[in-house]
């Protein structure tokens, strides 16, 4: 189990899971739907199964690339801790569990489950033909708020879309920062990424622009939801935006020594703390 948790880098679940809780409780508190423990558990399981399948498939598909890249040679498959066949089997099992879990939620979630898997698994192949691979990763994680909202309501709405757009821009932006480490390797191996295409300086500019958009989409629900948000939500906005700014101060084109800290720590803290303030606003203050 420890090896499989390492394979899927389970700690990175911290990025999308808080936004899934946001989508879930957004639905509970802004519609006539009632809180349901079973749906909450099924939502969490869907998040875990979908992410497990996506990460395991990514490691399986990229195993030969990872073996060549000095930064990734110690990952589980290149290092021989998990075989490619075991990783692929793990992927298929989690896909099956994900689809099964959606069947117990509602028909819409079940019918859309193959589409969700196509997006989150398809990301792994995109770096082979488009520099927009970062946006595809962002799209995959952006399904969390909308998907969680659908778990509760079984229907689409405008409000959760803004949270999903914020996640799309946020994840795309910080994945571009993370990809700065592999700029030279990607060029050598004819792999596509924003840094390999645009260079470090322009890649960081694009990342900054995407994070500005992310902040704008986080703020927009204040003007869309007529019943309004309370002061905890505004604190959450300020904190989230502050962390976006902070990570861009950590990383410079000529200094990538703190990329991992900017990627993991600042973004993990940003998502968790923002979700906490959102839940405070929705469940206690309001």
Mean pLDDT of 254-280: 88
Q: Residue 90 sits in a domain of what CATH number?
A: 1.10.357.140
Structural domain span for residue 6: 2-285
Q: In the prediction, which pLDDT does 36 show?
A: 96
Residue 10: CA atoms inside 13 Å, Cβ hemisphere, count?
8
Per-residue pLDDT of 112-158, as tens digits, reads 999 999 999 999 999 999 999 999 999 999 999 999 999 999 999 99
pLDDT, mean of residues 219-238: 88
Average pLDDT for residues 49-57, to the nearest whole number?
93
Tell me: the pLDDT tens digits for 90-125? 999 999 999 999 999 999 999 999 999 999 999 999
| Number of domains within the chain | 1
Q: Are 194 and 180 in contact (CB under 8 A)?
A: no
Q: Please provide the average confidence, as pLDDT, over all residues in the chain.
A: 92
Model's pTM, two decimal places?
0.94
181 confidence band (pLDDT: 50, 70, 90): very high
Cβ-based neighbour number of residue 115 at 10 Å = 10
* Average confidence (pLDDT) over 16-31: 94
| pLDDT reported for residue 140 | 95
How far is the C-alpha of 170 from the C-alpha of 273, rounded, in Å?
15
């Amino acid at each position: 189990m420890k090896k499989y948790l390492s394979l899927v880098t389970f700690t990175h679940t911290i990025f999308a899971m808080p936004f899934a809780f946001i989508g879930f409780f957004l639905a509970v508190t802004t519609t006539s739907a009632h809180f349901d423990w079973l749906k909450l558990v099924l939502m969490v399981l869907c998040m875990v199964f979908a992410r497990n399948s996506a990460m395991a498939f990514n490691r399986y598909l990229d195993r030969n690339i990872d073996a060549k890249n000095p930064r990734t040679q110690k990952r589980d498959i290149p290092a021989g801790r998990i075989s490619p066949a075991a990783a692929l089997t793990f992927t298929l099992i989690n896909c099956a569990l994900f689809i099964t879990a959606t069947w117990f939620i509602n028909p819409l979630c079940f019918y859309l489950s193959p589409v969700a898997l196509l997006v989150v698994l398809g990301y792994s192949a995109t770096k082979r033909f488009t520099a927009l691979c970062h946006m595809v990763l962002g799209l995959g994680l952006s399904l969390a708020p909308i998907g969680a909202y659908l778990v509760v309501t079984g229907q689409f709405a405008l409000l959760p879309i803004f949270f999903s757009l914020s996640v799309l821009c946020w994840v795309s932006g910080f994945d571009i920062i993370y990809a700065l480490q592999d700029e030279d390797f990607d060029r050598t191996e004819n792999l596509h990424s924003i840094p390999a295409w645009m260079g470090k300086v322009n890649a960081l500019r694009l990342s900054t622009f995407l994070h500005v958009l992310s902040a704008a989409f986080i703020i927009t629900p204040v003007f869309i939801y007529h019943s309004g948000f309370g002061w905890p939500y505004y604190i959450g906005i300020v904190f989230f935006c502050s962390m976006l700014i902070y990570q861009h101060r950590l990383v410079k084109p000529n200094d990538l020594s703190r990329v991992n800290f900017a990627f993991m720590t600042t973004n993990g803290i940003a998502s968790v703390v923002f979700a906490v303030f959102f839940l405070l606003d929705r469940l206690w203050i309001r």
